[in-house]
Structure 1
Amino acid sequence: MTDKSFLNLEYKKEGKNFRLQLFFAKDERGIVYRVTTVLYANGWNIEGASIRSLENGQIEDEFLISDSTGREFGEKEKEQIVQEMYLLFKEEISIPSYLIKKGKVAKADKGNESAEIIFESNEELDNTLLRIKTKDRSGLLCDIARMLFLECIDILSVKAKTYKDEVDDTFEIKSEMGHSLDDGMKERLVRNLKNIL
C-alpha cells in the first residue's frame, strides 16, 4: 500500500457511543487484527463490531466504540486512527513494537476456563463459525484477532456484541488453506483461547 486511499473512514455519534465505518479497498490478511489493535491502543472500547466483504471486493468494518471518560471522536481522532493504521498496514512498525510505543503492556492475569467456546461447521462453504461467550475486558477482541492471525486463520466476518460485562462474539473463519477447521485445530484453538480470554 503506497498511500492512505486504501482506507476510507466515516463516523457518527450514537448516544454516548460512536459508530465507525471503515472501507478497505481490498481484502488483506490481518485486517481485523490491525484495526482492533489501533482502537485498543488509543483507548477506545469496542462495544460491537461487524465485518463483511462487499460485492465489489472491498471490506467493510463497522465498530461501535466508546470511551469511559466521555471523550469525543472527531476529525483529530479520525486522522490519528487512519495514520496509525496506515503505518501498521505498510508494516513500517510491527504490532508488538507499536503497542509498546503506545504504552500497552500485556497483562498477566488473563485466562478464563469457564469461557464458552462453540464451533459450528458449514460444509457447503468450507467455513467454521466460532462463538465465544465470556467476560468482557479491555483489548479482548484485539487479543482474539491476534491469536487467530498467529494460527493462520482467516476471519471472514465478525459479529461482536457486549451486554454489560459479558461478550457474545461470533467469528466466521477458515484456515488460510481455504477449508474449515479439523478437530485437532479446534482443540488447539479452545486451549489457546482459554489462556487469553
Structure 2
Amino acid sequence: MPHILAVARSAVHGFSKAGCGSITLLAGLGVEGDAHAGETVKHRSRVRADPTQPNLRQVHLLHQEMLDELRAQGFALQPGDIGENVTTSGLDLLALPEGTQLRLGDSAVVQVTGLRNPCTQLDSFRPGLMRALLGRDAAGQVVRKAGIMGIVLAGGTIRAGDTLQAILPPLPHRALQKV
C-alpha cells in the first residue's frame, strides 16, 4: 500500500530539509514554513531569470525506493537529504504522467507538474550523486531520477504513515518533463 514515509521542510534556502513530525500543505502555496512556498517561483536561479513565473515546484516528492537504489551505489542518504518535502514508499513517482493528482493523508492533494532536474549542488553534497541521479533510457534520452515536483490543489496536514493515492489524468498521458 503506497504511503508517506517521511516529511521535511526548511525555512531557509539550503540543500537538505529537516525531517519533522508533520507538515501542512497550503493550497496554491506549498509547504507552510518552507523556503520554496509561494505562488511565484522561489528557486533562486529561477527568481533571477523571472520572479513572476508561477511556482510549479511548491512540493518536492521522492520515493524511498530511489534512496534504496542510491544506497546500493554507496550513497547513504536519509529522507530530506536532497531537499525533498515528502518521501513516499510503494509508488514509482517517476513513472506518473503529468497532471496526476496525489492524495496525501485525509485531505491534501498535490498535482504533479514535472521532474526535478538534478543540479551540481548534488555533487557538493555527495561527490558523484548528480551522475547517480541521471541516466539514459533505451533510446538514449536523459532520465532524471531526483524526484518529482507538484503544486498544492487542496491543503492539509500530512505525516509519516499517511496514505498516498495516485489519480491519473485522462488519456492521453504525457510523460513528465523537467520543471
Query: Which structure's residues are more often helix, by fraction?
Result: 1
Larger Rg: 1
TM-score by length of 1: 0.28
